Amino acid sequence: MATFEDRNTIAQCVDTLLTELRGPGPQFDPQAAVSVAGQIATDSRLGFALIMEDVLTAEVIGIAVVSQVTAVRASGHYGILQELWVDSRYRSAQNGRRLLSAVDREARARGWPMIEVSLPIADRPDAERLVAFYESMGFTSAGERRRRRLPRPG
């Protein structure tokens, strides 16, 4: 489980993930991301973050960040996998599967009935591969999300 001291690492990994997905967009603020990562790592009501490291080199292999949400349709809390990233040097070595298995263990320990994930739109790099990966891990389609950006105050 990630700790407050891991907040910079989490934010840097998310920045790398967003860059790989042709971002980050204007909503990503590196300083705010560090703050949010620290909040998630210290307040279990917000969710949790996991960091996978190489035991020999202490290099970060990957991260998973899950937000806790509450919904009537779920009869309580469940998780949304917000970010899952594995360093390109460690991909295709089952590390994504290991991270998702760790996410599942923590979700079950919290009594959550499900984990959701939003996938990139089809024109994003490796979108087809990502869909296949998540489907191989038991994720099924639950419709398509839509987003509306709100104007910034002031």
Q: pLDDT digits over 88-118, tens only?
A: 999 989 999 999 999 999 999 999 999 999 8
- CA dist 6 to 39, 60, 78, 147, 148, Å? 11, 11, 24, 29, 31
What count of other Cβ atoms lies within 10 Å of the Cβ of residue 57? 8
| Residue from 52, 11, 7 nearest 30 by CA | 11
Decide: 93 and 62 in contact? Cβ < 8 Å. Answer: no
3-class secondary-structure state, position 15: helix
Mark out the alpha helices in the chain (DSSP H runs).
7-20, 30-42, 95-109, 127-136
CATH number of 4-136: 3.40.630.30
Q: pLDDT digits over 39-94, tens only?
A: 999 999 999 999 999 999 999 999 999 999 999 988 999 999 999 999 999 998 99
- Identify the band that residue 32 occupies on the pLDDT scale cut at 50, 70 and 90: very high
Supply the pTM of this predicted model: 0.91
User: Once rounded to an integer, what is the mean pLDDT over residues 4-19?
Assistant: 96
Q: pLDDT digits over 110-128, tens only?
A: 999 999 998 877 777 678 8
